[in-house]
Amino acid sequence: MAFIAALRVWMAIFVALALYAVLELNIIIFTTFKTRRGLYFWSFLVATNGIAPYSISLLLRHILQIDIPALYITLTAIGWVSTVTGQSLVLYSRLHLVVQSRLCLRFILGMIIIDAFILHIPNLVLLSFSITSPSPELSSAWRIFEKIQTGGFFLQELIISGTYIKNLFSIYSWHGCQYDKATRKMRRNLLLVNVIVIFLDITIVITGYLQLWGFVTAFRVFVYSVKLKVEFSVLNSLVEVATQHGRGDDIGVNNFDGMAQNHGSPHGSNHGGVGFNGSV
């Protein structure tokens, strides 16, 4: 009993932190984006707010022990799909800053769309039946596919992050290997952040094999909130240094749906050193 009580405390902590992150991220989003349009803005908004219904479903079923199957399934479906696929679209929507190949970009977008269908839909169907018509066979099938889904989405984000890191180092090979201090610092920061994101994805995969579903899902939603919070630092660092070096056009900064660096411009506003004139 003490072990179960401790798990519920940790679940409540993870859910509370995730919900706080939703509030914080919404404030950041609506104070940073001056023109609310574009894939980056909408995917970030959807991924952020998808955390809320998913967290509430966990709170009701696993912490407060309120058993309303239809409500739980609905909140889980909306929250999980929005958070996971939204997060991948956030990562994809900034890839063109460093990836010049249209074929590569189309491949990754196609991968995200296909994975959304082949991983989300079967998982949600199995989850629904395992709750509304419980049986050992259905529960076992759902748990097996849940592990497949977790591995599939981990591989998807690993491909996106790996593509980003590879092309980031290629794009900063301009004119040899001599970089100024700001560029070297930016490279280190971006590499560190992407490695952290991959590490967080690995923790999701590992905890997915624990037979503690409520705890695992609470930890998972917390991890996704952390990943979204580090996302802005990735984009801000890249755009700032690229624009300072006059290479914005080379990596597509000026095509990022209205996003631009404004140094002293009366039309831009600075957030952490990066001016946003329009939407990201």
pLDDT reported for residue 259: 45
Q: Give the model confidence (pLDDT) of 24-71 as tens digits.
A: 999 988 887 777 888 888 999 999 999 999 999 999 988 888 889 999
Evaluate whether residue 84 is within a structural domain: yes
User: Does residue 26 belong to any structural domain of this protein?
Assistant: yes
pLDDT of residue 40: 87
We report the CATH number of the domain holding residue 95 as 1.20.1070
Q: What pLDDT is stored for residue 73 in this prediction?
A: 94
Report angle CA 58, 133, 127 to the nearest 5 degrees: 40
The separation between the first and the last C-alpha atoms of the chain, rounded to the nearest angstrom, is 49
Which DSSP string do the residues of 51-117 spell out, in sequence order? HHHHHHHHIIIIIS----HHHHHHHHHHHHHHHHHHHHHHHHHTGGGT---HHHHHHHHHHHHHHII
The candidate with the shortest Cα–Cα distance to 254, out of 280, 231, 233, 273, is 280
CA nearest neighbour of 162 among 134, 191, 136, 186 = 191
- Residues 182-220 have pLDDT tens digits of 666 777 777 777 788 888 889 888 887 777 778 888 999
Q: How many structural domains compose the chain? A: 1
Residue range 85-101: average pLDDT? 88
**Position 131 in a domain:** no
- The answer to whether residue 142 is domain-embedded is no
**Structure confidence at residue 165 (pLDDT):** 83
Residue 139 falls inside a structural domain = no
Residue 116 to residues 99, 160, 220, 225: CA-CA distances in angstroms? 23, 15, 18, 20
Residue 149 lies in a domain: no
Domain limits at 260?
2-120+157-275
Question: Domain for residue 109, yes or no?
Answer: yes
Mean pLDDT of the chain: 80
Q: Is residue 227 part of a domain?
A: yes
